[in-house]
Structure 1
């Protein structure tokens, strides 16, 4: 039996403004913000406002707006950091590596020869996140 959505999860709290975040994009359906434990420079999370644990229980109507923003953010992070490519990741349930149970997509700029860092729990400095967020917002605006 599927677990119930927990409105107390950290991303729900970020969406409600209870926890601060470096937002780079927001519309009626989706928010994108910097991952505080980035696996690479510019690691951004794209999160639908609609509550769901993951892709397995999400309303299919969520996917159009969500993945439209994933593409927009992917183009922006590639440009903002002059990246060679972009990795898009999405995890579902513990066996896949999901640790926050609100549907979200990771968008990570990639550079030739530079491996992803582990998602270790080491938080990035707030000023670095703010600087990276500014670069992405600027790329989104152009």
Structure 2
């Protein structure tokens, strides 16, 4: 767990394709990223996405940060945002969607490495 408040959670991706990939989701079951949220709830969710993204950028120093809301009614219907920082130096042909597709490989951090990343992200958020 990277972050939690009364309405949102942020946690490390189970199958990260880049270091420190985080998912942010509302606790309430929401299926459509815009139309199922009123303006206040959408703004609140996006402020959490921003806060977590700033921590990912501070800890990992990515060349670019990708923000995506993926999913479908057939799978992963619950709204969630992916925060993926592209490491510096990744060749252009391995950036963007290529860098996010599990078919191109996933990282396998140890439980200790995951705990360390989550701790560093939490500390960065607490300090900022």
Shorter chain as normaliser: what TM range?
0.7 to 0.9
| 1:31-50 pair list within 5 angstroms | 31-50=9-28
More helix by share: 2
The alpha-carbon distance between structure 1 residues 55 and 113, as it changes in their structure 2 partners (threshold 3 A), is same
Please give the TM-score of this superposition, normalised by the length of structure 2: 0.78
Q: Does 1:51 align with 2:36?
A: no
Shift of 1:108: 0.9
Q: Which runs of 4+ in 1 moved over 3 A?
A: 120-125
Maintained 8 Å contact 2:71/2:78 = no
Please give the TM-score of this superposition, normalised by the length of structure 1: 0.71
Aligned with 2:23: secondary structure? strand
Quote the residue 1:17 is aligned against.
Answer: none
Which deviations, in whole Å up to 9, do the C-alpha atoms of 1:67-125 show, x marking residues without a partner?
0000001111000112223110112426xxx8412100001112233231522495733
Quote the residue 2:115 is aligned against.
Answer: 130
| 1:1-142 pair list within 5 angstroms | 23-55=1-33, 58-60=36-38, 61-93=40-72, 99-114=75-90, 115=95, 116-120=99-103, 124=108, 125-142=110-127
Aligned with 1:86: secondary structure? strand
The alpha-carbon distance between structure 1 residues 62 and 24, as it changes in their structure 2 partners (threshold 3 A), is same
Maintained 8 Å contact 1:36/1:123 = no
Alpha-carbon distance in 1 for matches of 2:33, 2:83: 16
Aligned with 2:2: secondary structure? strand
C-alpha RMSD of matched pairs (Å): 2.3
Gaps of 5+ in 2: none
Which deviations, in whole Å up to 9, do the C-alpha atoms of 1:17-55 show, x marking residues without a partner?
xxxxxx111111111100010121000000001111232
